Chains A and B, each alone.
Chain A
């Protein structure tokens, strides 16, 4: 068997941004019919490399070959014409438009005079949606879909054309297991048709499940390619961060304290009903459930962003009223929100100012902001969380996704809360940092903090939590204590199968 002609080949790609050398002579080859993982720490340059490939960024140096033909990718349109389809890391949808219009954005089927052929559009879309096995139809407004379903719409775009190569940039960051299965089917199907797939993810188990080869970037440089079947997680990690990770969980050595936060019969309209749980000082309480189960809404209610229709919240045994985040912060509650770009960060502001924002009123010398104190806080959490940035002045919007997430975490840790709620804390975070964040969460608990972790990743909840609350459709199905939880009964609980609903 002769070597197949690569679908895509990148050679010596260099890309710089002001102050950053994001890609430094990277080469990469994608073969037809292979699923090729691209891995690397946050900020290693994965998305940038793909954007160069997708015609969004022009490289400073280097060359792109499509089926061995040298090609200059001038625009996304051009890339598409060359058969390269790009599923972005950040959702790239028009939420006022229908699912159909989004899936066929830029290539709506036409009648004469530029009129849209709606019939064909809806028919084609419904076919794609069927393949994706989702529960909404072609005419649904995208803005009305959950984040996960929006991600599925994005994935649907890969099925519209006959692509040569499809790039998935962290497609599973907000998907749950059932949707992942669909996605993997889609990928397998593409693979069968000889399409090359580039798959970016920080989730080792996925990488090992579906990819054929793994290429690793490190600090903007190419650091090697491995055959998935012939390697293991440790080797990949080595290549990514230059050392192995200790992924074992530190067992609880500390004593749990009093109940810090308790909810009694909390309801909020149709969003969630009759929610009761508590979390102790020194304890990590996991919230697991399908996307849309209502976990985020509970967190928002605890943080004063929603008004409960009934029920009580108790802090250290006393009932409290939390009408706004200001109240919540005063009571020592911190929330790392789900959507960092929308809720977590002021993207146009620098790193330091973002981090100190909630406490800026206290960091004063006379009427003025004490910039020294601010800088100290920033330095402390930059080191603690290993945030990669050229300096505190860097605009947060220019950081890689993972580093942005760390800024948000730093912001809320620096508030020294009693109760820390983290909603999808490691979405889009690399393995190294993820382990760090998990350790951090454990450490914080060990120091007596009460922590609530909301996550859609089962390994994550299982790994960090002392106790897990399983939610389904706005209700708590089960409250697992440590030891009794297994993957199976967890899945049962969040699918609404379990009958042992805890009151």
Chain B
């Protein structure tokens, strides 16, 4: 361990410390406040926690890469919804129905492809126009949502396929299908970011785009790949979630982008780009889900949940900053 990685550990350790604090708090408070007899930290409950973290979690993983890359993607919620529509609706197409259960993998492919294509559109616009990704994806957040509504008006799109539900509800080695998807995605992306040139270039570009351009890195195509990747992941999240629920409202996935970004930032990734970690994002996602679950566990009412979640976000940000302070000698900037 170099001094560098130790420093990173402290820098990124905050989120795990926070998770431990949450666990402790809800376990103790649960003793007094919860009507349920089962303990909060029960294994099944923790496994559920991972499962429930999957929808936002998978998106947040992609968001980590986009943000390390120095961009942001506000359209993921809309991509999520559109991919879900394609997933469910495609299974009702005549030729697909003729395929029986073989329609399922094909429907997945269609949905994932939808995500990739929408991501590519974002990436292409960001690259070619040079407009900031925040603005481009703020626009496509609206535009893609428009496509969602165009598909089925304001009505939900539904198709309940029980084989699909059974698959999605299955548990393998104790972990739910959704958890597997989350963990495998995390592992793959972690390898991508730490071991490959693509990952390292993502850091370089996010850190100093001009430097990357000057060094001859093809920044534009690189952007497209990453936007396709997050499009893919948003669609994957939809595939995982809607396989189990079978119906999508045109408003589904709204605000997901903001929760995903929150999880990423809680994990310590810099909004400005160039710095961040996939594993810490996983921490951020779990921290948020834990907070929701824990507040439900101790019976907090709606207004308290809203108030507490909001203030905790801010508090974590504050703590993180205190932890990373350089000390008194610091430049007062």
* Residues of A bordering B, CB below 8 Å: 54, 56, 75-81, 86, 88, 92-97, 101-102, 105-108, 110, 113-116, 139-141, 157, 268-271, 300, 304-307, 309, 324
Contact = CB atoms under 8 A, between A and B. Distances in A.
Contact of B214 (A86, A107, A139, A305): A86
A105 B211 contact: yes
Contact of A94 (B2, B4, B197, B204): B204
B218 interface: yes
A270 B275 CA distance: 27
A164 to B, nearest CB: 15
Given A94-B274, A97-B204, A305-B333, A108 B328 contact: no
A116 B197 contact: yes
Contacts, number: 97
Interface in B191-229: 195-198, 200-201, 203-204, 207-208, 210-218
29 contacts: A75-B216, A77-B217, A80-B216, A86-B214, A88-B214, A92-B215, A93-B211, A94-B203, A94-B208, A95-B207, A95-B274, A96-B275, A97-B203, A97-B204, A97-B207, A101-B204, A102-B211, A105-B212, A106-B215, A106-B217, A108-B197, A115-B195, A116-B195, A140-B4, A271-B329, A305-B333, A306-B330, A306-B332, A307-B332
A356 B311 CA distance: 40
A86 B324 CA distance: 35
Contact of A107 (B216, B275, B327): B216
A276 B124 CA distance: 59
Q: Which 3 A-B pairs have the closest CB atoms?
A: A77-B216, A106-B215, A269-B329
B331 interface: yes
Interface in B295-333: 327-333
Contacts of B329: 268-271, 306, 309
A4 B70 CA distance: 46
Given A75-B216, A108-B197, A92 B204 contact: no
B203 A115 contact: no
Given A108-B200, A139-B2, A269-B327, A324 B332 contact: yes
A137 to B, nearest CB: 9
B196 A116 contact: yes
| Residue of B214, B215, B331 ringed by the most chain A CB atoms within 10 A | B214
A94 B270 CA distance: 14
A333 to B, nearest CB: 15
A116 B200 contact: yes
Given A97-B200, A97-B203, A157-B215, 19 more contacts: A56-B213, A76-B214, A86-B214, A88-B214, A92-B208, A92-B214, A94-B207, A94-B208, A96-B203, A96-B275, A101-B200, A105-B215, A108-B200, A114-B196, A116-B196, A139-B4, A268-B329, A269-B327, A307-B328
A78 B212 CA distance: 14
A360 B87 CA distance: 59
A305 B207 contact: no
Given A114-B198, A269-B328, A306-B329, A92 B217 contact: no
A77 B212 CA distance: 10
A484 B297 CA distance: 79
Contacts of A114: 196-198
A76 B331 contact: no
Interface in B246-290: 274-275
Contacts of A268: 329
B267 to A, nearest CB: 16
Contacts of A107: 215-216
Given A108-B200, A116-B195, A92 B327 contact: no
Contact of B213 (A76, A270, A271): A76
Contacts of B332: 304-307, 324
Nearest to B327: A269
A98 to B, nearest CB: 8
B146 to A, nearest CB: 33
B214 A56 contact: yes
